[in-house]
Chain A
């Protein structure tokens, strides 16, 4: 085994408590980020699903003239944001209601008059399904005199976006704070490792080892600590995911690229923290 690798591993044996603490702090910081990863990923998936179905529904007055309705349908279909406009007549609405709301079929069968209005179901083009586009289209459709009411999912979407932003900010703050603490602890661990190996370092310099060679075990130690911490975080995140996903809501596990990125971030954090620390402390001895 090369010298640097052996010495880096020896550092874990020499001060397990400190190394363990460094690992734990990195793990905690990435665990928080990981939790947000799950939340963010699932919110994103939900938004994608909702957006692919985003429709503006305009309910029409019963007294709307068929000519005006037909003209309006053509006008609306010509809006740049609009992909397609379906006209759902009162009879079709009742038919759909009977089919979709099985539990209430008896209610609908007993009806003497059809209470449901006719409607336009307006489907927007992909890329035009953001909250602003939806609102603009809804406002224009709402200005037809025979349109009784316009519904769209925008308020709900706004809330989802807001939730995502709040969750993101909270994670950045918390995760960042723990990352800073982790970096400080790693720096302390490196400092102690440097002083524990003071004599060795002196002999290394004496016999002509390069400074980069002297530094290498400490950098590897930081890298391993970071990697071990992020693996720990991964395991903890997955554990919590399994617990939550079954019991509370149906969640999707985050994609592999996100996981790889998380591991890389953890490893880099450990590496960078020890690189900064070792530069300083090697100059002192």
Chain B
């Protein structure tokens, strides 16, 4: 469903961020993407989101190719991708429910389906009682749950998470991680970029990719094969 083939990414000032990266992520798979800070994890996720195009190689996501995709299709592709950030990226002047509703609203959902869907999504992440709270009134873990609810609004094929637990304490981190496992169990693929090796260690048997200075140095799936 996601395939990177010999992907290179070179930035004008900082040089080569990704160097000949090749891997595949199957439907419904759960996968860690690890590596030191600056290894290129975020760049991989941005390329999958088609926020940028690689300077070499090809990124294929759900039938779309980075070499041919048109601007209009980028929007359509993104509705199949949920994206979670370390800093949540919620709109501060909107309530939890409004933040989730926003994702549906701006992609042309009908207002009568939005209400019930938002309630269901917030229930799913365990925040039904905080629907009317502003992000500033929520804990970090709760804010990240709102972001997850928003990411799930379009029933995505894959969830991209960029250091989702980076701003959270251990308890909250674990809660979010459990939430991802649950989401993955119901069929959504998850690609979780993190340098938090604690999470990785507590999850034996989960696929692991490791980047080092832009090169893919370890792929547990390739080792097993």
Contact = CB atoms under 8 A, between A and B. Distances in A.
Partners in one complex: yes
Interface of A: 3, 199-200, 202-211, 213-214
Given A207-B79, A210-B75, A3 B89 contact: no
A206 to B, nearest CB: 6
Chain B interface mostly:
mixed
Contacts of A208: 75-79, 81, 107, 154
B42 to A, nearest CB: 14
A81 B100 CA distance: 78
Contacts of A204: 102, 106
B91 interface: yes
Contacts of A200: 91, 102
A206 B107 contact: no
B83 A206 contact: yes
Contacts of A211: 71-72, 75
Nearest to B80: A208
Contact of A203 (B71, B75, B77, B102): B102
Interface string B73-107: 00111110101000001011000000000110111
13 contacts: A199-B89, A199-B92, A203-B91, A205-B75, A206-B89, A207-B79, A207-B150, A208-B75, A208-B76, A209-B75, A209-B107, A210-B72, A211-B72
Q: Which of A3, A203, A204 has its CB near the most chain B CB atoms (within 10 A)?
A: A203
A207 B89 contact: no
Interface of B: 51, 71-72, 75-79, 81, 83, 89, 91-92, 102-103, 105-108, 150, 153-154
B106 A209 contact: yes
A213 B91 contact: no
Contacts of B92: 199
Contacts of B103: 203, 207
Contacts of A205: 51, 75, 78
Given A203-B91, A208-B76, 11 more contacts: A200-B102, A202-B89, A203-B89, A206-B83, A207-B103, A208-B81, A208-B154, A209-B107, A210-B75, A211-B71, A211-B75
Contacts of B76: 208
A207 B153 contact: yes
B71 A207 contact: no
B93 to A, nearest CB: 9
A202 B102 CA distance: 12
Contacts of A199: 89, 91-92
B78 A207 contact: yes
Contacts of B72: 210-211
Contacts of A213: 106-108
A81 B107 CA distance: 69
A8 to B, nearest CB: 14
A207 B91 contact: no
B53 to A, nearest CB: 15
Q: Which of B72, B83, B105 has its CB near the most chain A CB atoms (within 10 A)?
A: B105
A211 B72 CA distance: 8
Contacts of B154: 207-208
A206 B75 contact: no
A190 to B, nearest CB: 19
A208 B104 CA distance: 9
Contacts of B75: 205, 208-211
A196 to B, nearest CB: 11
Listed from nearest, the 9 A-B pairs whose CB atoms lie closest are: A208-B78, A208-B79, A209-B106, A207-B103, A210-B75, A204-B106, A208-B75, A3-B105, A208-B107
B132 to A, nearest CB: 19
Contacts of B107: 207-209, 213
